[in-house]
Amino acid sequence: MEIVEVMESGDYEQLVVAVDKNAGLKAFIAIHDTTLGPALGGTRIWPHPTEEAALTDVLRLARAMTYKNAAAGLNLGGGKALIWADPRTDKHEGMMRAFGQFLEGLGGRYITTEDVGSTPEDLAAISQATSHVVGLPRTLGGSGDPSKATGFGIYRGMKVAAKQALGTDSLKDVSIAIQGFGKVAGYLADHLLVEGARLTVCDINPDAIARAKALGSTILEDPDAIYDVDCEIFAPCALGGSINSNTIDRLQCKMVAGSANNQLLTPEDGETLWKKGVLYVPDYVLNAGGVINLSYEIGRPYQEEEAMERVAGIADSVEKVMSISKDENISTAKAADWLAEMRIKSVRRAKGIYLAP
């Protein structure tokens, strides 16, 4: 991997390689873009098989955070960190504190939070060495688990999108197929059921199935059958890549809206949905509730009510994306990227004018 070339072509600002032999720490901190503000993104702890795989992952994730934060209207840039270790066997408090020291050295250019492999306890250890960490447990003054805010944001965004796809923003009697009934889907379902939506759920975890069943959802025995469900909304809330050339033709829905990151396996899948007339609500626009909620921890004491009010604004972002898609005659997937890129470009331009002699 020609790292400078990769960074130049992807418009990355900075890559930090953090090594502390005594603490057993090997980490990468990728800062993609800080035009809008300090880079915010989680720390993933994962034992990638090669250094190249680890770097590819952290760079890709950092860039995605720039788009998510920009489209959400946050004054935050995009970044991500990767601790190259097995979270089940390798991580310990000393490693987290050592990692925190590297973050402190960045002086707030990058703010971290939880991601795959890291936990609120890890964040608490990191916070012993730096203040540039959010998503701390409530007991430590943080906002705690972001899933509640994510679920609420998806609900509000789903309603406004339903107005376009179904002709009404009421979700009463609307049939919704949910793939994966984890933390976010659970919170989302609470809102949907209050409105009287009809839920069909699949999961691979019996405990998740039991929770969905207790709420009166229809349960699918075969998780793969979720793609064939005759429904109005398909909500991917498990893993990425579930919208792909093998599944798109099976979908019966008018709209795809869920929490999973990277729902589209390839960019072409967004185009295919658009051509089929299925309204795809771009994942990073719809699932930004967690990050919006976290942003309310930065530089002020966290207030849940204030944060949730702002999370509800995801409905406005979804509306903007739908209107760009209509006006420019482009897919909603492209419209979301356009929205994020335009915002960054306009601020960059303004900064350029301001700095000019």
Identified binder of ligand NAD from the candidate list 54, 238, 281, 292, rule CB under 6 A: 238
Q: Which is nearer to ligand NAD, 13 or 203 (CB)?
A: 203
Separation of alpha carbons 329 and 326, rounded Å = 5
Residues numbered 172-211 forming contacts with ligand NAD, rule: CB under 6 A: 179-185, 202-205, 208
Please give the helix or strand (H or E) that residue 195 lies within, else none: helix 183-195
Q: Is 239 in the site for ligand NAD (CB under 6 A)?
A: yes
80 is catalytic: yes
The token pair that represents 341 in the structure block: 């890129």
Q: Is 235 in the site for ligand NAD (CB under 6 A)?
A: no
Nearest-approach distance from CB 163 to ligand NAD, in angstroms? 23
CB closest to ligand NAD, residue no:
182
DSSP 87-121: TTTT--HHHHHHHHHHHHHTTTSEEB-B-TT--HH
Binding characters for ligand NAD, 262-301, by CB under 6 A (x = yes): -------------------------x--x-----------
Q: Is 118 in the site for ligand NAD (CB under 6 A)?
A: no
Q: Which is nearer to ligand NAD, 149 or 298 (CB)?
A: 149
Q: Residue 26: beta bridge partners?
A: 19
Q: Residue 255: beta bridge partners?
A: 233, 279
Neighbours of 136 (CB within 10 A): 21
Nearest-approach distance from CB 117 to ligand NAD, in angstroms? 12
Q: Is 162 in the site for ligand NAD (CB under 6 A)?
A: no
Nearest-approach distance from CB 290 to ligand NAD, in angstroms? 3
Separation of alpha carbons 199 and 197, rounded Å = 6
Separation of alpha carbons 71 and 136, rounded Å = 24
DSSP 280-319: E--HHHHTTHHHHHHHTTTTS---HHHHHHHHTTHHHHHH
Q: Is 146 in the site for ligand NAD (CB under 6 A)?
A: yes
Identified binder of ligand NAD from the candidate list 112, 130, 147, 295, rule CB under 6 A: 147
Among 21, 26, 68, 80, the one annotated catalytic: 80
User: Each residue of 49-76: b (16+ CB within 10 Å) or e?
Assistant: eeeeebbebbbebbbbbbbbbbbbbbeb
Q: Which is nearer to ligand NAD, 106 or 209 (CB)?
A: 209
Catalytic residues: 80
* Interface positions with ligand NAD (CB under 6 A): 146-147, 150, 179-185, 202-205, 208, 223, 237-239, 259-261, 287, 290
